[in-house]
Amino acid sequence: MTPVTRRDFTKAAGLATALSYSRIFGANERIHMGYVGLGNRGDQVHDGFLEHGDAQTVAICDLREDYLDFAAKKSRGAPKRYTDYKKLLEDKDVDAVMIATPDHWHALMFVDACHAGKDVYVEKPLSLTVAEGRRMVEVADQTKRVVQVGIHRRSAKFLQEAAAYVQSGGIGHVTVAKGYHLYNEWPNGIGNAPDSTPPNEEMWNQWLGPSPKVPYNKNRMFYDFRWFYNYSGGQVTNFGVHYMDMLRWCLGKDAPKAVTVMGGKYVMKDNREIPDTLEALWEFDGPSLMVFSQYNSSAAGGNIQGAEMELRGTKGTMYIHGNRWDVVPEKVTEANVPARTPVDRVTEKAYNPSKKTVIEPASGKGSDDTAFHARNFLDCVKSRAKCNCDVLTGHQSTAATLIANIALKTKSYLEWDAKAEKFTNNAVANKYLSYQYRAPYKLG
């Protein structure tokens, strides 16, 4: 007897509810994917899915016809084309959706997709505000959706090994963990395009979505939206969320208890709103500090070792690069009493305490190809297991970076109650945890 697949089941019973999607999915069955947002990142993620024979592109959605043409050409088969994501969500042939629109669109599209019974791969940062992220976690739970947040390092084997190494105490107690984003765009960056009439008023309006209606400026739109706060959180949520996630993962921490940030637009002459230079500092229970440094300079790349991230432990330091990690052992003082007084100095051991390494050097290599993350999503859609970067994980990493931007905006040291998701020492800062959508947009 031919097994009844989930697709047959929902068609036959006409039960395209969230729950009906959670039951039957043959191990060899193809997942019918719909893609919303096929620009810079959406195209890369589409490629990642196309590497897997069980991912079928059945629907594509973008505001740009040229992006739709490009995506259609590389798809196996002829996907249906949409410019309205709601129409794609109504398409019963779509099992799961990938969302790679600008950040201000993530929450609305995600929640609508969950309610339409689709599993979701959504790009990072999960949301534009903490309140949106919390709602996304709730809705995904209520509708029992499988969710992968596009923090793709979570599916890289060499980074899984690095995280396990640190979690097992390999470098001792980590007191400080840092991520660096270095990129010199001085002096002109994205330039100073003036506000103007949009080439296509309807497209501009659709692109703005829930964000405030503002005059068209070409720098606000494709790709460069990430330098404007209505649509993104700048480098803290762009690159910073990858680092925050990796470091939280290594340290096994959910959320910081305090955050403060200094920085500004010190040298750039373009019309971006976000800083070109900043230092963000979070404190976690443990205790440990996490730091994100964004500099308008790139000569030495990363930290002193050229790494993107470093974790400084009592027994050793781990350096994490794009495709490898290394542990450099610390030299630990053997004598308990280093010489501090003339009397100490008469004891040779105290005067010249010996130092020795207590761990061996270690390293790992690999790749963080997005195709691994797509594979994990497809597997979880079938098994209904949690993805490597499930919605709560994505929310926790995103929320930590979002509150850093609030510390910068309010020029403050903020104490964070992670359970209530509120600041306890600054009422003004709490106002930035959500924002008023433009009518008629409403988060479901």
Ligand X SMILES: NC(=O)c1ccc[n+]([C@@H]2O[C@H](COP(=O)([O-])OP(=O)(O)OC[C@H]3O[C@@H](n4cnc5c(N)ncnc54)[C@H](O)[C@@H]3O)[C@@H](O)[C@H]2O)c1
Q: Tell me the number of residues near ligand X by CB under 6 A.
A: 28
If one asks whether residue 441 binds ligand X (CB under 6 A), the answer comes out as no
Instruction: Report which residue type is found at 45.
Output: V
Rounded to 5 degrees, what are φ and ψ at 312?
Answer: -100, 110
Between CA 408 and CA 414 the distance in angstroms is: 10
Residues 185-214 that bind ligand X (CB under 6 A): 206-207, 209
Place of tokens 């993530």: 106
If one asks whether residue 20 binds ligand X (CB under 6 A), the answer comes out as no
If one asks whether residue 85 binds ligand X (CB under 6 A), the answer comes out as yes
If one asks whether residue 38 binds ligand X (CB under 6 A), the answer comes out as yes
**Segment contacting ligand X by CB under 6 A, of 58-66, 172-180, 390-398, 399-407:** 58-66
Contacts of 139-142 spanning 24+ positions with Cβ under 8 A: 139/110, 139/111, 139/114, 139/115, 139/444, 140/110, 140/114, 140/391, 141/391, 142/114
**Segment contacting ligand X by CB under 6 A, of 60-68, 262-270, 276-284, 429-437:** 60-68
Please state the closest distance from residue 400 (CB atom) to ligand X, in A.
Answer: 16
Contacts of 18-21 spanning 24+ positions with Cβ under 8 A: 18/114, 18/115, 18/117, 18/143, 18/144, 18/145, 19/144, 20/117, 21/95, 21/117, 21/118, 21/119
Nearer to ligand X, 65 or 141 (CB): 65
Please state the closest distance from residue 124 (CB atom) to ligand X, in A.
Answer: 5
By CB under 6 A, name the one of 34, 79, 102, 256 that touches ligand X.
102
Sign of CA dihedral 236, 242, 247, 248: positive
If one asks whether residue 40 binds ligand X (CB under 6 A), the answer comes out as yes
Instruction: Report which residue type is found at 316.
Output: G
Q: Which tokens belong to 110?
A: 């995600």
**Segment contacting ligand X by CB under 6 A, of 40-48, 136-144, 403-411, 419-427:** 40-48
Q: Which tokens belong to 145?
A: 């959706």
Between CA 42 and CA 60 the distance in angstroms is: 10
If one asks whether residue 124 binds ligand X (CB under 6 A), the answer comes out as yes
If one asks whether residue 41 binds ligand X (CB under 6 A), the answer comes out as yes
By CB under 6 A, name the one of 25, 33, 34, 39 that touches ligand X.
39
Q: Which residue is nearest to ligand X (CB)?
A: 39
**Segment contacting ligand X by CB under 6 A, of 32-40, 112-120, 318-326, 400-408:** 32-40
- Three-class DSSP category at 55: strand
If one asks whether residue 394 binds ligand X (CB under 6 A), the answer comes out as no
Q: Give, in degrees to the nearest 5, the angle at Cα 99 between 94 and 102.
A: 150
- Three-class DSSP category at 93: coil
Please state the closest distance from residue 174 (CB atom) to ligand X, in A.
Answer: 25
Q: Report which secondary-structure segment, H or E, holds 278.
A: strand 277-284
Nearer to ligand X, 79 or 313 (CB): 79
Instruction: Report which residue type is found at 147.
Output: V
Binding map of ligand X across residues 232-251, x = CB under 6 A, - = no contact: ------x-------------
By CB under 6 A, name the one of 49, 60, 89, 103 that touches ligand X.
103
